[in-house]
Structure 1
Amino acid sequence: MTAPRTLPAHLAHPFSPRGRPDPYPAYRWLRENDPVHFDVTSRMWLLTAHADCALALRDPRFSAALGQRERVRDDELPPSMLTTDPPEHQRLRSPGALLMGPAAIRGISGGIEAEIGRVLDGLAGRERIEATADIGEPLATGVLARLFGLPSADRAAFAELAARVAVNLDPLAGPQAAAAGRAAMGELTRFLGERADAAAAAVRAGGEATPFGRLAADDRLTRAEMLGIASLTVVGGWKPLAEMVGNALHWLLPREEAAEQVRGGHDTAVSAVDELLRLESPIPFTARVTTEEVRLDGGVIPAGARVLALVGAANRDPAVFADPDELVVTRSPNPHLAFGAGTHLCLGAPLVRQAGALLLRGLLSRYPGLRPVGEPPSWAPSLVPRRLTGFTLAT
């Protein structure tokens, strides 16, 4: 094996504090010079080309279950589609679709529209708005409350728990943050468990059936599996959906032509959500472990190797995307990997597309003068999710 290549001195490692705000120059160098890169710092193989990342997300030689066990943190995630490989993955995914699949989302589409209307109404008359706190978090809370059938009285507690468990997204969180995340996950599991029986009973009695109720009533799952899927929906759904709003507005507001296209129609707004997620993937990498040697054009990965598919780099691969660093809201096709690929394609993709499109179109139409004010926002120092902080807007 030849000596591992290293980034040039002028480029910060994309995982380092200096490199996290703008990892794209390092991603570009790796993709052009060493797309199958052994990183001596993390002892992981980093994939940056779209073709290689797509293969790693689809090919059974790259194990998702082993990838989750290789987290830097020593805690384990609950059993779910995220932490399993086929055939166990399919066994969990089918009932999981009762909570997050396309039919479940269609069933609450009216509720999603109502939640977005509530968020937009709440901005009226405000001189200053914080993108995440005032738009993104209320959106995420309202949308997930509809999935789980939560009454208004439960929403504040749910939002507080959802914010606290979000640290579990970051595989490199420090010991103190990881411990807080474990404690919050236990509280969230108890919170959902206390509501699961009533939700399931309503379904069995022929009453109001929420997506969570259908999941809780499904006898293909153990209770631990059901709560694992429900909890991971909150962990993987609330924070990324909340932060997507600020990331999207960061790209849209300075580009009036793009904003006008989003105002113009629902289909364009949906297309814009995909394009915005391509440019700023909230989950910028996915971990896998090879079960056997894998030969790629850029190198050979040994069996048992820890691999990161850097989807944030793959989503700007010029071999796949023309003008990869530019916002093209009508881009088609758009085979970005922000939702993953293959058997692990994110179940929540329809929810994010629908809620994101309705929110952005409604927000830009109702508040056409929306603009950034004050100090420019900065990228948060955490790796996951990729998010802005301090993004203040005026209406």
Structure 2
Amino acid sequence: MSATLEAPPRVAQAAALRPDFAEHPYPTYALWRSQGPLLWSDAFFGGAWLLTRHADVEAALRDPRLSAQRTGGWVMAAAEGQRSEFLPFQRLFARAMLFLDAPDHTRLRRVLQAAFRPEALAPLQPWLESLLRAHMQAHADAGTFDFMAAVARPVPARVITRLLGAPDSMSDDFMRWCEDLAVFIGAHAPQPHHIRPAQRSLLQMCDYFERDLLPQRRRHPQNDLASLLLQAEARGDVAAGAELLAQCAMLLFAGYETTRNLLGNAVHALLSHPEQWQRLCERPDLAASAVRELLRYDSPVQWTGRRATCTLHWHGQTIERGDLVLPLIGSANRDPERHACPDRLDIERPQPGALSFGSGPHVCLGAWLTQLEGQTVLRLLAQHWPGLRLAGEPRRNGNPLYRGWQYLPLTVA
């Protein structure tokens, strides 16, 4: 960000959201990039600045003047005068590491980061491959099946359940709770009917952790994330109560939501580009490169949010203290100034680096876990089910932030 002396008025409202924005955001992003790097829109959270280009999105994610602490106004605006009803939700929601700045964010991230390093996750690989084969084999022989229900939803749920230390029997509850949260977090104009199910699910999730899993792990520690957090609580690195519960909920939500949408988006994109799918089937060793490109091509997270902590002058506009700024990750990943022919899928594209996992201090803690799951799924599908084909009409999830599929019918030819 470069400071200027003048403070011009805000720009005109950005192009209105088209009715099909959640289904087809990329033409809108292209229009916004052509209009400018920084636009004001009333369509997001009652008013927000939109950053449309890669360089500015990355700069914003690294700028300490833009705070991740943004839940108060967001939740209370959705409450529409019923604030007391949603105070329990806000109390927990605001303590998640995703919505904290340094030094609290740094402290909590230090507790968890070792558990998500590649060497820590490597022992998961054989179990993950076995799990995927079981889920695919149960459906591939039955003709047409829904990939989301067969693989993309249950596999990430089982993975994060295992890492937390919860029993497999909790996976269905975990998926339901996370999906209610995703509807609220993903709404660009959230209303009470979005937040009520989210609050109910967050409270149920935290009640499970507080009454069941955490007491078990206090009595019998294991090599899992719940035990890791309890050890940090004992050292004073994680506060008991809301902070501890919020991290458990955050790990569950983040470990499930991004990965399920990556898997669905990746498989749909590959099968919609048969030449790319064929290339992967011929060379399954391209799975890692394919996942990186698919994350760029159709990011499972389309934007994030920050609050200005001071008045900023940027691109000839004045961002006031307290203004909401939305770095548009999905737009940045299709910026032609960063990626040549950005609307073309190429699983062997030289990677200058996309922003699907963010950048700076809040870069996604579980990025390697999500990539590991994505690589494993694509490699095994290409090796064992090269005849996979789209079958019927898929259905998007309708979530403009957490872009993914609700229903993705496939068949094995």
Q: What is the TM-score normalised by the length of structure 1?
A: 0.89
d(CA) in 2 for partners of 1:257 and 1:214? 45
Does residue 54 (structure 1) correspond to residue 58 (structure 2)? The answer is yes
Give aligned-pair identity as a percent.
29
1:84-99 equivalences under 5 Å are: 84-97=100-113, 99=115
Partner of 1:39: 41
Asked whether 1:82 is paired with 2:98, we answer yes
Q: Displacement of 1:333 after TM fit?
A: 2.4
Superposition pairs for residues 64-143 of structure 1, below 5 Å?
64-65=68-69, 67-71=70-74, 72-74=77-79, 75-76=89-90, 77-97=93-113, 99-143=115-159
CA contact (8 A) 1:35 1:298 kept: no
Residue 303 (structure 1) aligns with: 321
- SS of match in other structure, 1:295: strand
C-alpha spacing 1:50/1:190, structure 2 compared with 1 (3 Å): same
Aligned counterparts of 2:231 and 2:23: Cα–Cα separation in 1: 44
Of 348, 357, 365 in structure 1, the residue corresponding to residue 366 of structure 2 is 348
Alpha-carbon distance in 1 for matches of 2:47, 2:14: 15
Mapped to 1, the partners of 2:376 and 2:275 lie a distance apart of 18
Which residue among 1, 4, 8 is the counterpart of 2:11?
A: 4
Residue 280 of structure 2 corresponds to 262
What is the rounded CA distance, in whole Å, between the counterparts of 1:114 and 1:39 in structure 2?
47
CA contact (8 A) 2:162 2:168 kept: no
Cα deviation code 1:272-316 (max 9, x no counterpart): 112111122222111111112333346442332211111111111
Structure 2 Cα separation of the partners of residues 244 and 170 of structure 1: 16
> How far apart in 2 are the matches of 1:58 and 1:162?
28
The one of 191, 196, 213 equivalent to 1:174 is 191
Look up the equivalent residue of 2:57 and give its one-letter code. C
Deviation at 1:134, TM superposition (A): 1.4
> Which residue of structure 1 aligns with residue 338 of structure 2?
320
Native 8 Å contact 1:275 1:329 kept in 2: yes
Secondary structure in 1 matching 2:338: coil
Give 1:191 deviation, angstroms: 1.5
Q: Matches of 1:293 and 1:261 in 2, distance apart? A: 50
The number of aligned residues is 384
The unaligned stretches of length 5 or more in structure 2 are 1-7, 80-88
Check 1:4–1:156 CA distance in 2 against 1; reply closer, same or farther (3 A cut).
closer
The answer to whether the 8 Å contact 2:9/2:317 transfers is no
CA RMSD between the two structures: 2.3
Of 216, 225, 229, which residue of structure 2 is paired with 1:215? 229
Structure 2 residue corresponding to 1:146, chosen from 146, 158, 162: 162
Which consecutive residues of structure 1, in runs of 5 or more, have no partner in the other structure?
none
Contact 1:263-1:362 at 8 Å conserved across structures: no
**TM-superposition CA deviations, 1:134-192 (whole Å, max 9, x none):** 11011112211221223333333333433344334324343123101101111111222
Quote how far apart the aligned CAs of 1:126 are.
Answer: 1.7
2:382 counterpart residue number = 364
Aligned with 1:123: secondary structure? helix
Does 1:63 find its partner at 2:72?
no
Equivalent in the alignment of 1:22: 24
Give the C-alpha shift of residue 113 in structure 1. Answer: 2.8
Which shows bigger deviation, 320-329 or 286-295?
Answer: 286-295
| TM-score, length-scaled by structure 2 | 0.86
Contact 1:112 1:143 in 2 (8 A): yes
Q: Is contact 2:290–2:348 with CA below 8 Å preserved after alignment?
A: yes
4+ runs deviating over 6 angstroms: none
* Cα drift, residue 99 of structure 1: 4.9
Shift of 1:101: 4.3
The letter of the residue matching 1:191 is: Y
